[in-house]
Amino acid sequence: MDTITWHDFEKVELRVGTILEAIDFPEARKPAFKVRADFGPFGIKWSSAQITKHYTKEQLVGRQIVGVINFPKKQIATFMSEFLVTGFADENGDIVLTVVEHQVPNGSKLI
């Protein structure tokens, strides 16, 4: 494991956003949804997330998630992803979202 400095960690913009919309992404190589999330003062952003095993589109709307919002945009198939949805792989490699336990303002930074 590589170590990083506190300064390196502070550069990563891990922010809370609320999912406004989740739609199918049939063009993706692996099953995924396109999600639109509100990051408060940082705006509304889109991402692709391979979270179809544990979540339905309906379960995602209104859920607060943790995303990295300062990576460069990334082309995924026909879609431009604007943030990275964070999560952990379960025992089968399926992604479980990183979420907050209690509601916090959109755009709040992980500290």
Domains of the chain: 10-97 (2.40.50.140)
> Residue 48 — very low, low, confident or very high, per pLDDT cuts 50/70/90?
very high
Give which of 82, 24, 89, 28 is closest to 58, Cα–Cα: 24
> Residue 74 — very low, low, confident or very high, per pLDDT cuts 50/70/90?
very high
CA distance 10 to 38: 22
Give which of 70, 74, 27 is closest to 47, Cα–Cα: 74
pLDDT of residue 79: 93
> Residue 57 — very low, low, confident or very high, per pLDDT cuts 50/70/90?
very high
Structure-token pair, residue 81: 């992803």
> Residue 81 — very low, low, confident or very high, per pLDDT cuts 50/70/90?
very high
Indicate the SS3 state at residue 41: helix
pLDDT of residue 25: 96
pLDDT tens-digit series, residues 13-31: 999 999 999 999 999 999 9
pLDDT of residue 100: 94
Structure-token pair, residue 45: 């952003």
